[in-house]
Amino acid sequence: MQDWQDHISINPKVCHGKACIRGTRIMVSVLIDNLAAEIPRQEILHSYPRLTDADLNAALSYAAELTREGTIYLPLEVSV
């Protein structure tokens, strides 16, 4: 999704400047946590009535963009 910027906003006065779905206080991190916990998309949408499927896609695209921009160093796996 190339238009995630249309769905995500960052405002220092909203949720301490955390990325949220535009026009809401629904933090992107909460949505990613729910998706990672394998909560069905329809259940997430039911829990947040203002949320759309496009908003969920935007949250995933935003998270993907962050992984391209930064690196987290993980311990090397040692094969036996």
Domain of residue 50 covers 4-68
User: For residue 77, is it within any domain?
Assistant: no
User: For residue 79, is it within any domain?
Assistant: no
User: For residue 34, is it within any domain?
Assistant: yes
DSSP H helical segments within the chain, as ranges? 28-36, 41-47, 53-69
Across all residues in the chain, what is the average pLDDT?
88
Report the predicted TM-score, pTM, of the whole model to 2 decimal places.
0.82
User: For residue 78, is it within any domain?
Assistant: no
User: For residue 8, is it within any domain?
Assistant: yes
User: For residue 60, is it within any domain?
Assistant: yes
Indicate whether 38 pLDDT > 70. yes
Indicate whether 3 pLDDT > 90. no
Dump pLDDT digits (tens) for 40-69: 999 999 999 999 999 999 999 999 988 887
CATH code assigned at 51:
1.10.10.10
Number of domains the chain contains: 1
